[in-house]
Structure 1
């Protein structure tokens, strides 16, 4: 099978390209660094030439009010190019609960991307993942003053990026879902407690203060970021991932 990975040099894309190649597939890794411009469409026809499946793990350069325009333009360009190339399966990576957080520009943008894919001309699959373990340090940096980290008690069930890649690879090489698969890690936490665990394991002297108005996740209401029944739960536990990554 020939598979094109859009965003194939990033955190998820590079792992996905390697995994699919190890499985014997012909894989094209496409991104800005390889000459692909999703916003203008430059390089798309070449990237999709002969592809059976396209996996889109590209991301908006910003999380603000500009992100909906990015996802609209890039999704429309990708769907049109895929139809020209005879692609038979379009896959995107999205976020668990994305359509339940209209307060966030970025989540509205990803919801728009999903809607465009569903209404497009090609059979499709949407893989919705929870927050990545790899992003926890960045989340804490948003609201840290050097001595304390302020985090809301938002319920989350994060996942290792490698486990997201495994799910994407399985979906990309199977018949289209024409629907959505949720993937998550094995354990649920409140975000503030996850911060405390992270700092303790990293021997970081900062203190976590629970603040339900702090950071991007303060806009999330209830447990919408936690997967519903039927989700694919990965085996990698956060504590084990932290130990392995040190």
Structure 2
């Protein structure tokens, strides 16, 4: 009995530390790859506890390999849009400004009943009350209410609510998101004009750049160098 208790304590502490090292996202909203790793780790950790014939070191080594693999892949996903898309996929737009994307709903096996449930969970009862409905890469569905259906705030009591505006990421950690650039009808000439305003030569020097479709508002944040912004 003493051996089982000791093994349980050791594996508990080790698994908790491993998950912490893998990042806080591991405890919060899990992507598909993160969920798979978490399930495998839980299975491996249980083996030496329930079966004392299994060496503790074998499970520890296996969990360490999984942790290193997840950390490396997460770092690659952070640096590369291609790797991120391969591991986590892309957000799926189900509804956009009055248009229902039926093929995308079919691809994600997301039916009308699911759609209406998500609307009700977000305080809406009809598609006429929302501007956007999309499934994020972690499987959560985001519902963006239109201006008329958004909750009233103190400023709204003094003036008419501003319309909901969709912001698109153009540059993500030095990577140009060409699909969004094309969707907005923009080109690289426009992009370089934005870079010149910040005295930047290439989008690889940009950490974040977004464009607000309706207002034309641009948010540009350069990459930090040596702990300081350019």
User: Would you say same fold, with TM above 0.5?
Assistant: no
Q: Which has the larger radius of gyration?
A: 2
Structure with the higher fraction of residues in helix conformation: 2
Which has the bigger relative contact order, CA under 8 A and spacing at least 6? 1
Normalised to the residue count of structure 2, the TM-score between the two structures is 0.26
